[in-house]
Structure 1
Amino acid sequence: MANTHNRSLELEVTVISGEDLRINDRPIKNNAFVTVKADSGGSLSSLQDSTKPDVQSESYPYWDEKLHVDLPAGSRYVVVEVCRRSSAAVDKLVGTAWIPVSDFVGDYTPENYLHFLSYRLRDAQGQRNGIVNISVRVITSSYKGTAASSSSSSSPSVPKFGIPVDREKTGGTVTGMPVWYPNQWKS
């Protein structure tokens, strides 16, 4: 995959669930929602997307919602905020996770790779306050094409894997995985 830090990217962030969410050290009752936005050179982007509030799952909410976020060139983090909406329509911050872009964008990550990630949330005082579970995919033109045609085809797109052959040109490192053969260590 080419270096993607020099151009704007589109992310598909699926907010899956939360775990052990609390306000003032008490489990939240309902109405938790998630907002996802990108940092834009040190400041947060005004472009963001949010889930609908989960009305039933108490401190273990389940959203399973796909959000789309533009990641400007040079962004270093994606910020995930979990909040609770009260009956007075006032949002109370539950916790925030600052996710490094390097966790899902890199030279050896296949195009359209789906990353499943879990992050510790921190409340406004920096204390641990639950976990958020997400998946992230960098949307490329080839994925958009297969997503549009997926209604006519039942087989999903398979990412292409590759290892650079010329290390001097790419500056890459090849890594391997040990292969164990039956009875390898018997005398």
Structure 2
Amino acid sequence: MDSKSHTHRTERTLELTVLSAEDLRVDRNLNTENIYVVVRAESIHSYATGTAGSNSNSHNNFSWNEKLLVDMPVHARSITLEVKCKTSRGSGSKDIGVARVAVSDFLGGSVPDDCLQFLSYRLRNWEGKRNGVVNFSVRLRTRERVAATPEMVVGSCGFQISRVSVTGGVVTGVPLLWNNYASRNV
């Protein structure tokens, strides 16, 4: 067995986009321009966003909108998102909050694994006290996306999607089950 096939069986790749964090209480001695997020998937590997400053309208809200490709072992039961702040000395970081997310919350349920899901989780500091919310999107990354016909495609999440030009337009989605139900009961 070659190393590629062995790796494929022991890991899955998550496409996880860290969107934002809200209502963070940050020690006033820390520079809020140095807030970042570390993602772990029960592995020694970790994945980090770049630093983000607070939004202009609030010093407690931060945004990244940064996509990470996270290798997750198949035995993993949770992923962890840690919000941290680089210290002014540059030699370390201070923990702001942590959220542990069960893999079963976004994989293996009624929604297909490769469907993009948006989630928000409460952050807790290391004393267990609430410290804001982290917002992110996640889906299982698949090797190949099936080519679609130019007029109408059925997405993996159960919606019919009209194709639009890249220059603009509106995309409408209609749940397949609703569409079938409506046509039978008209």
- Do they superpose with TM above 0.5? yes
In structure 2, the gaps of 5 or more residues are 1-8, 159-176
In structure 1, the gaps of 5 or more residues are 1-5, 40-44, 147-152, 162-175, 181-187
TM-score calculated relative to the size of structure 1 = 0.68
Tell me: CA distance 1:122–1:157, structure 2 relative to 1, closer, same or farther (3 Å): farther
Find the counterpart in structure 2 of residue 80 from structure 1: 81
- Are 2:87 and 2:93, in contact at CA under 8 Å, matched by a contact in 1? yes
Alignment of 1:16-55 (within 5 A): 16-24=19-27, 29-39=32-42, 45-55=43-53
The DSSP-based 3-state class of the residue aligned with 2:83 is: strand
Aligned length, in residue pairs: 147
Identify the structure with bigger relative contact order (alpha carbons < 8 Å, sequence gap 6+): 1
Tell me: CA distance 1:142–1:108, structure 2 relative to 1, closer, same or farther (3 Å): farther
Find the counterpart in structure 2 of residue 124 from structure 1: 126
Tell me: CA distance 1:111–1:126, structure 2 relative to 1, closer, same or farther (3 Å): closer
**1:70-117 deviation per Cα after TM superposition (whole angstroms, max 9, x unaligned):** 110111000000001122112100000000000110153324200100
- RMSD between aligned residues: 3.0
2: CA distance, partners of 1:114 / 1:28: 33
**1:113-145 deviation per Cα after TM superposition (whole angstroms, max 9, x unaligned):** 0010000000010110000000001001124x7
Following superposition, which runs of at least 4 residues in structure 1 exceed 6 angstroms of deviation?
A: 25-28
2: CA distance, partners of 1:107 / 1:59: 33
2: CA distance, partners of 1:83 / 1:92: 6
The DSSP-based 3-state class of the residue aligned with 1:30 is: helix
